[in-house]
């Protein structure tokens, strides 16, 4: 991968689960605990298969330990597929692992399990209240009052984004109304970004409109009108994080669904990192993958910044592996994205 080495931004690049006991995996997530970084994803025969479970791996002293299946979709003796785990470590309390169970995204339900020892052991999973999904793909943010604001969405009556709030680590919930009209913009899977003390931005995936954005001026209690960002998206998951220095960092496929060899995953390459000072003007920073030929592509990123200032990214690699990349955000050099076109030359871009 270009950019590795002493002068480039990429510090580390590796597979988390090279000897996986299943043929397919997807939808990774990351959190930092006192003991290090923890990752989770779903794995099994293939997406939607009943044997798909939630797998967790811990990075101990720089080495990924063997993944362990920590949850499945067994309900009253029948097994349903699991989906989209989301890890989050609140400032106090156990490590949280949200996930979904059900035959399809239109009919799944939210689940939660917790770990008091940094991901070594897990509680008995419990179902979230009816109508509560939890964070649908990307991590919550913790507000100053201790509330967790969870970015969520539904697909059963059109693609609609909403936000869920809990002040007791998932015991009780308040579910907000949808913030978009799916007849105008079909949107799901938001990420939350911070702009000062009270302003929030949600950004994420749409079916046909590139990346969406929607803003709140009151810590997510009310939201403005959803608009598009001008950045392309091939109907694939994204993630984003507000860095400690105030910059916004976005990981996504900077492409459309008009190219690629496979109908379902067209456009899921390249996989890109962009950076913005204001969440509006995005600049090209890094290409993580750039292979247009493989049918499964490279997608569904998760991104966090750890306490040492480094940025950790995981993503689905060809539906076969979960890849982990660590970058130094201070080493990123950027160039403007003009009219949604990625520049042909950027310092750290392959």
The mean per-residue pLDDT over the stretch 213-229 comes to: 98
Q: What is the pTM of this model?
A: 0.95
Q: Where are the domains of the chain?
A: 18-127
| Domain spanning 18-127: CATH superfamily | Glycosyl hydrolase domain; family 43 (2.115.10.20)
Q: Which of 62-71, 258-267, 281-290 has the lowest mean pLDDT?
A: 258-267
86 preceded by a cis bond (ω within 30 of 0): no
Question: pLDDT of 25-52, one tens digit each?
Answer: 999 999 999 999 999 999 999 999 999 9
pLDDT of residue 76: 87
Helices and strands (DSSP H and E) totals, the chain: 0, 28
Q: With a cut of 70, say whether residue 191 has pLDDT above it.
A: yes
Contact 251, 316 (CB under 8 A): no
The mean per-residue pLDDT over the stretch 92-119 comes to: 98
CA distance 155 to 153: 7
pLDDT-based confidence at residue 248 (cuts at 50, 70, 90): very high
pLDDT of residue 347: 47
pLDDT of residue 346: 52
Q: In b/e form, how buried is each residue of 155-181, taking b as 16+ CB within 10 angstroms?
A: beeebbbbbbbbeebbeebeebebbbe
pLDDT of residue 349: 47
């Amino acid at each position: 991968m270009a950019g590795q080495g002493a002068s480039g931004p990429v510090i580390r690049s590796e597979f988390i689960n090279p000897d996986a006991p299943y043929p397919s995996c997807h939808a990774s997530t990351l959190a930092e605990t006192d003991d290090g970084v923890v990752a989770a994803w779903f794995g099994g025969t293939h997406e939607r298969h009943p044997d798909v479970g939630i797998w967790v791996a811990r990075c101990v002293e720089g080495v990924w330990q063997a993944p362990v299946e920590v949850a499945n979709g067994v309900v009253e003796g029948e097994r349903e597929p699991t989906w989209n785990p989301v890890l989050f470590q609140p400032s106090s309390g156990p490590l949280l692992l949200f996930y979904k169970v059900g035959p399809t995204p239109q009919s799944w339900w939210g689940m939660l399990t917790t770990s008091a020892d940094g991901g070594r052991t897990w509680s008995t999973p419990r179902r979230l209240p009816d109508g509560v999904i939890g964070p649908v793909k990307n991590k919550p943010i913790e507000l100053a009052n201790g509330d967790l604001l969870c970015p969520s969405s539904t697909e059963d009556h059109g693609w609609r984004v909403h936000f869920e709030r809990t002040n007791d680590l998932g015991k009780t919930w308040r579910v907000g109304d949808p913030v978009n009209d799916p007849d105008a913009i079909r949107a799901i899977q938001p990420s939350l970004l911070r702009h000062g003390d009270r302003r929030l931005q949600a950004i994420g995936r749409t079916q046909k409109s590139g990346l969406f954005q929607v803003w709140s001026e009151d810590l997510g209690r009310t939201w403005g009108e959803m608009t598009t960002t001008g950045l392309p998206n091939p109907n694939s998951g994204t993630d984003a994080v507000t860095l400690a220095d105030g910059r916004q960092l976005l990981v996504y496929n900077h492409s459309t669904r008009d190219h690629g060899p496979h109908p379902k995953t067209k456009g899921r390459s390249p996989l890109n990192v962009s950076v913005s000072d204001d969440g509006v003007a995005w600049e090209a920073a890094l290409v993580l993958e750039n292979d247009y030929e493989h049918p499964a592509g490279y997608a569904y990123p998760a991104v966090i910044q750890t306490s040492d200032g480094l940025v950790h990214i995981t993503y689905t690699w060809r539906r076969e592996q979960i890849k982990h990349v660590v970058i130094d955000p201070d080493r990123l050099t950027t160039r403007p994205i003009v009219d949604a076109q990625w520049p042909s030359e950027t310092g750290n871009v392959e």
